[in-house]
Structure 1
Amino acid sequence: MLPPILAQLRIPVVASPMFIVSGPELVIAQCKAGIVGSFPALNARENPGEPVLLDAWLTRIAEELDRHNQADPDHPAAPFAVNQIVHRSNARLERDIEICHRHKVPIWITSLGARPEVNAAAHDCGGIALHDVINDTFARKAIDKGADGLIAVAAGAGGHAGAQSPFALIQEIREWFDGPLLLSGAIATGRAVLAAQAIGADLAYVGSPFIATTEANAPPAYKRMITESGAEDIVTSSLFTGVSGNYLAPSIRAAGLDPANLDGADATTMDFDKAARGGKPKAWSQIWGSGQGIGAVKAVTPAAELVDRLAREYAAARSSLCAG
């Protein structure tokens, strides 16, 4: 059974937090459109001596959503989420946890490790914690450490994707877990959202289509590449971060590399502290991440229009199946 905070969405969709791409503009637009908007805490980066940007972002998001709700109480905004990278290289984690706790962030999404203290902080301020996993073993560990729900990151997802089929991954988790379960992996249409529910997920986790929105913090060339590419243009490699991820082949070629001949890299090379300081390449800033579902994305649109499309397709798919 879903907690109330996830049960009243316009459609069962949580927008995934995308490194660099997701910021206040996109999150606010997603929430106003009726789905959970999210961003990685590490996206809020300030220079030394400047006010803490994460604090300012959370204040802005809360205030704008509150104004929206007061102006249109019949169509309240969906809640928002903040993603915490709990990898050991994230030197900001303790600070960012304190800020999110102080702002009473309603939904916490954790990645690259499960930590009981992060889940405890979420619960202490009245929030829920969702942890992303790529297999059943990690799923069990996350729940043992206090996560409320799971995000099953299956093959075809953008960024740090898993390798397992969504059918296998959801099936194995659902054998023992009846709490909130989200599915990530090439979901770019309303029909795919319904399919995620049909195989046992509660909600769909949608990322890459939102890169091609006017509110996304992505270069115009990145947005255009999303609209011009399909599943065959996605390359899986561990070279850029040390963990296997999915990237747009044209962006790899633009960086002077051959997508068909990429070396691998060890997970020990991953360093989110360096990434947060704008360190070496090239993943996300030059090598652009994407999932395999982008063939459904034909144009750059406002986020609200994308959510409208998903909602129409979702309703049509349900009607079609019920009629059959």
Structure 2
Amino acid sequence: FLVSNPALTLACCAEGVMGSFPAHGTRSREEFQAWLDEMQEGMKRLEDSGKKPAPWAVNLVVHASNPRYPGDLELVEKYKVPVVLTSKGAPGDAIKRIHGWGAVALHDIANRRHAEKALEAGVDGVIAVAGGAGGHTGTINPFALMNEVRQLGDHFAVVLAGGQTTGRDVLAAEAMGADLAYIGTRFIATREAMAVEAHKDMILKTRATDVFLTASIDGAPANWLTPSLLAAGIDLDVLRTTLPGKIVAASENKKRWKDIYTAGHGVGNIEDIPAAAELCRRLVQQYREAKSELARTLAKSVAA
């Protein structure tokens, strides 16, 4: 939210990395439609230039409390978005329509029961949001979460989210049984991201111990950067004992998600703000190097 946009998404897709943005990252239906137009035009340019871009995705909040959901789904259907990420609600009705235009449907889950419900609804895969993810997050260790989700079978895709910032992490996610890795926080600190410079700069200066987990800001468990909470006049001791959704920043102009910044546990490994294309290439190179290193290690073990 307030980070990804068509420019960032297209830059990733051009490098063979699936990019996405949330429908609710736009302020109106009209702006969302303009973003979809930009994506269609951008993907066509990439294809016309001879590239084979990765598919792109849109995140839809399918909870009944989201007044824009029906209209946003209508637009996603109109533009035949190839991959749809659903979250915060029962995705059943949306899944039928998504499959109707041949798209892939992935749903956010934070535990095994969530995964069971999503699979019953007919999703193609789940996004396992483990502890350490930025913004709204799960709370379960990624090893434990992957084990429980994979107990349900291998007939569906699993995307692991939470704390990943390098190509080595992507390889580790694969070893744990994931089909894909979902990297969010690392892309906040890119040139194309909409995040304000103060947010990007704070990510460069913080570590995992500066990430504060609470449900008191907006009612759902989320990871926030402690320096931004303090700057908003929030007493952390009060935050720890306040009911979900009851905290209001001392300064009225400190808006959730805008002036209070989110990030995951991977912040401690982020030291620069590259272009998204450069970051994608870096991730691919790190992945290849880690895979080669692991192969050498395994070969030595066999030889021994």
1:189 aligns with 2:166: yes
Name the SS of the counterpart of 2:136 in structure 1. Answer: coil
1:20-99 correspondence to structure 2 within 5 Å = 20-46=2-28, 52-71=30-49, 73=50, 75-99=51-75
Summarize the Cα distance change of 1:168–1:223 in structure 2 as closer, same or farther, 3 Å threshold: same
**CA distance in 1 between partners of 2:277 and 2:166 (Å):** 14
Which structure 1 residue ranges, 4+ long, deviate > 4 Å from structure 2? none
Partner of residue 113, structure 1:
89
Counterparts of 1:45 and 1:103 in 2: how far apart (Å)? 19
1:274 aligns to what?
none
- Give the structure 2 partner of residue 228 of structure 1: 205
Where 1:104 maps in the other structure, the secondary structure is coil
> Match for residue 302 of structure 2?
none
Q: 1:204-219 to 2 correspondence within 5 Å?
A: 204-219=181-196
Query: What's the offset of the Cα at 1:115?
Result: 2.2
Larger radius of gyration: 2
RMSD: 1.7
Letter in 2 for 1:106: P
Secondary structure of 1:317's aligned partner = helix
Shift of 1:281: 5.6
- In 2, the alpha carbon distance for the partners of 1:280 and 1:41 equals 24
Measured after TM superposition, the shift of residue 89 of structure 1 is: 1.4
Q: CA deviation at 1:260?
A: 4.6
Residue 217 of structure 2 contacts residue 244 of structure 2 at CA under 8 Å; is this kept in 1?
A: no
CA contact (8 A) 1:82 1:105 kept: yes
- What percentage of residue pairs aligned between the two structures are identical? 43
Deviation at 1:312, TM superposition (A): 1.2
Report the Cα distance in structure 2 between the residues aligned to 1:139 and 1:283, rounded to whole angstroms.
28
Matched, 1:131 2:107: yes
Equivalent residues of 2:187, 2:193 under 8 A apart = yes
Structure 1 Cα separation of the partners of residues 242 and 8 of structure 2: 33
Unaligned runs of 5+ in 1: 1-18, 271-278
1:244-270 per-residue CA deviation (whole Å, 9 max, x = no partner) reads 100101111111123354143337x79
Higher relative contact order (CA 8 A, sep 6+): 1
The whole-number CA distance in structure 1 between the counterparts of 2:199 and 2:138 is: 23
- The 2-side partners of 1:256 and 1:167 are apart by 36
Q: Which amino acid aligns with 1:30?
A: C
TM-score, with normalisation over the residues of structure 1?
0.86
**Which residue, out of 295, 302, 322, partners 2:268?**
295
Gaps of 5+ in 2: 298-304
Deviation, 1:114, is 2.1
CA contact (8 A) 1:160 1:243 kept: yes
* Residue aligned with 2:135, SS: coil
Distance 2:256 2:171 in 1: 31
> Which of 169, 172, 175 matches 2:145?
169
The corresponding residue for 2:285 is: 312
The AA in structure 2 aligned to 1:321 is: L
- Distance (Å, rounded) in 1 between the aligned partners of 2:267 and 2:244: 28
Residues 114 and 131, structure 1, Cα contact 8 Å, conserved in 2: no
Looking at structure 2, the residues matched to 297 and 286 of structure 1 have their Cα atoms a distance apart, in angstroms, of: 20
Deviation at 1:81, TM superposition (A): 0.4
- Aligned-partner SS, 2:236: coil
